[in-house]
Structure 1
């Protein structure tokens, strides 16, 4: 170990702090896998009653759905870091949720378009035409949620 390495001690976040972070910060990174290939997607989420919902825009040549299908345990990371004058003052936190991810059936009450528009930022598209993008709702049911902060 390098004796000049700096460390910042962290502490576990309480369940209430974790819930607040997931409700208040509506974006993170979803990590998926297919064998030894990984895929990470920056996403907006909606957190409600212990469930994380994601709205994805999928196109015919998109690989997100393929990775979701092959992922047994997805990992979702939400974090914030406070900019400071120097490294010694840095503050931040992170929440990691792990569990199975599944497509929400269109008959599910969460699929109400008015609610979806209220709960999520607008879907980001690039060069695709609107009619080429299928809006799909997914749910991650966390087996474990941990949070750390300093």
Structure 2
């Protein structure tokens, strides 16, 4: 691979990190159970203080198992448009939130949920909070 294509990237400053997290709404949560890894796309809400994840609960025991066994989770959000790209990694403990959020607030904070083969009445949501112990962002250099 003598001449692989590449682009230069640089670290994001705090203002860019904050803006990307506040305006985004989805990414991938990576979890672990011993030597086994599990990653799941999720919607999130970030208000500058809390990083909340909306997790569907429809009898998916595997997802719940990994949420319970993960000490340090990693959430990745990213975007790429043409030659421009960025990514943010958030690492920290993830725990079920004790916040009582009504359905209207959930609809305001999160985009519509994508159903697959579940019936609407069979899906419930559980909020999890990711405590950002480390946040790293990178973006392409012009």
TM-score by length of 2: 0.90
1:30-59 C-alpha deviation (Å, 9 max, x unpaired): 111111111111111100123211111112
Q: Deviations over 1:7-66 (max 9, x none)?
A: 322111011100100111211111111111111111111001232111111122442111
Describe the SS at the equivalent of 1:65: helix
- 1:122 aligned to 2:112? yes
- In structure 1, the residue matched to 2:88 is 95
Report how many aligned residue pairs link the two structures: 140
Structure 1: segments with no counterpart, 5+ residues = 84-89
Question: Aligned partners of 2:40 and 2:126: how far apart in 1?
Answer: 15
CA–CA separation in structure 2 for the residues paired with 1:77 and 1:40: 10
Structure whose alpha-carbon radius of gyration is higher: 1
Moved over 6 A (4+): none
C-alpha distance in 2, partners of 1:113/1:146?
32
The 1-side partners of 2:112 and 2:69 are apart by: 27
Root mean square deviation, CA, Å: 1.5
Query: Partner of 1:57 in structure 2?
Result: 56
CA contact (8 A) 1:78 1:94 kept: yes
Tell me the distance in 2 between the aligned counterparts of 1:72 and 1:104.
15
- Match in the other structure for 2:16: 17
In structure 2, how many angstroms separate the alpha carbons of the residues matched to 1:78 and 1:98? Answer: 12
